[in-house]
Amino acid sequence: MTKKTVFSGLQPTGNVHIGNYLGALRNWVALQDTYDCIYCVVDLHAITVPLDPAEFHRDRLEAAKVLMAVGVDPEQSLFYFQSQVPQHTELAWMLGTITGTGQLNRMTQWKDKADVAGANLGLYSYPVLMAADILLFRADAVPVGEDQKQHLELTRDLALRFNSRFGEEFPIPDPIIPEHGARIMSLQDPTSKMSKSDPDEGSRILILDDPDTIRKRLKRAVTDSGRDVRHDWEEKPGVSNLIEMMALFTGGDIASIEDEYGDAGYGTFKDAVAEAVIEGLAPIRRAYRDLDDAEVARLMQRGTLDARTRAEGHQQRVRELMGF
């Protein structure tokens, strides 16, 4: 039996945080044993916001390195930079011609950013490029956090539309969104998600943060009124966020955390969460230290060549179906 194909991407915009890890990257790693996995540093997506070329250049390699430290294994999975495989943008252009502007106008990420200075065509058509990433490799499943759900729906619509107009070619991909951890919230405002671009560094914990920084961030994390440690998103979003983090990092369940820390007080609980996060991230920090930049770059180059070959085979069929 042939294995199902999994595809996902991470933008090289720095600040890879525990939300990225718990919502998506942990799943990327876990899926490698069972599926044919393709993971991509989506650098073309990252240029839709203003950038400094030197910083961008560093962030690209850094993203690849962080993903390898987390456990993306280039021996097992196809792993490369999006920009090095031109079939992504070719397919994106083709899919753009069957994408309604009405549907793009409804994308929440676009609506959030459309009014800010610097909104541009790339940002608007970003979800079409994402659909192309996924469909280019005929992916069956896509591990992502909750915020990407709408983009996955667009991808499915485009696959169905292409298939009905030009012939059955694309599988309809399913999102893989974890039940817990798909939306880790900001430590400073537990009603909005933890984000790479939040100007307040205190709002997030980075995957590579050192133990002291993690302790400091958690001490300062916003909690709720009252003092009981109880999971309740309505009444206690701050504490609930910390409970989820602890459960995910220790593999424990929410009820037993409530039992253990219910009356311990926020201070004690936060210290325990900090130790759980530190311990959970320690292997990643160690792996990162052992990685060599030149070796990472070499592995990415090798991935590029394989990805191009595979993408070209698929893309040739799309060209034929469309009449080129």
Q: Considering the rule CB under 6 A, would residue 133 count as an interface residue with ligand TRP?
A: yes
- Is the Cβ of residue 74 or residue 190 nearer to ligand AMP in the bound state? 190
Q: Choosing among ligand TRP, ligand AMP, none, which partner's interface includes residue 65 (Cβ < 5 to 8 Å by kind)?
A: none
Q: Choosing among ligand AMP, ligand TRP, none, which partner's interface includes residue 69 (Cβ < 5 to 8 Å by kind)?
A: none
Provide φ and ψ at 296, rounded to 5°. -60, -45
Binding segment for ligand AMP (CB under 6 A), chosen from 82-90, 114-122, 141-149, 256-264, is 141-149
Mark whether 4 is an active-site residue. Answer: no
E strand or H helix that includes residue 10: strand 5-10
92 vs 307: CA distance, rounded Å: 16
Query: Mapping DSSP to helix (H, G, I), strand (E, B) and coil, where does residue 183 land?
Result: coil
Contact residue for ligand AMP among 6, 10, 136, 221 (CB under 6 A): 10
Mark whether 219 is an active-site residue. Answer: no
Contacts of 159 (CB under 8 A, 6+ apart): 131, 135, 170, 171, 172, 173
Contact positions with ligand AMP (CB under 6 A) in 162-191 = 182-184
The answer to whether the CB of 64 falls within 8 A of the CB of 81 is yes
262 vs 255: CA distance, rounded Å: 10
Mark whether 236 is an active-site residue. Answer: no
Q: Considering the rule CB under 6 A, would residue 77 count as an interface residue with ligand TRP?
A: no
Q: What is the DSSP string of 13-63?
A: -S--BHHHIIIIIHHHHHHTTTSEEEEEE-HHHHTTS---HHHHHHHHHHH
Q: Considering the rule CB under 6 A, would residue 127 count as an interface residue with ligand AMP?
A: no
322 vs 267: CA distance, rounded Å: 62
- Is the Cβ of residue 24 or residue 218 nearer to ligand TRP in the bound state? 24
Provide the token pair at 180.
């817990």
| Identity of residue 99 | T
Catalytic residue among 3, 4, 149, 196: 196
- Is the Cβ of residue 31 or residue 182 nearer to ligand AMP in the bound state? 182
Contact residue for ligand TRP among 42, 92, 184, 221 (CB under 6 A): 42
Q: Considering the rule CB under 6 A, would residue 148 count as an interface residue with ligand TRP?
A: yes
The answer to whether the CB of 317 falls within 8 A of the CB of 168 is no
Contact residues: ligand AMP, CB under 6 A:
10-11, 19-20, 23-24, 144-145, 147-148, 182-184, 193-194, 196
> Could you list the active site residues?
113, 193, 196
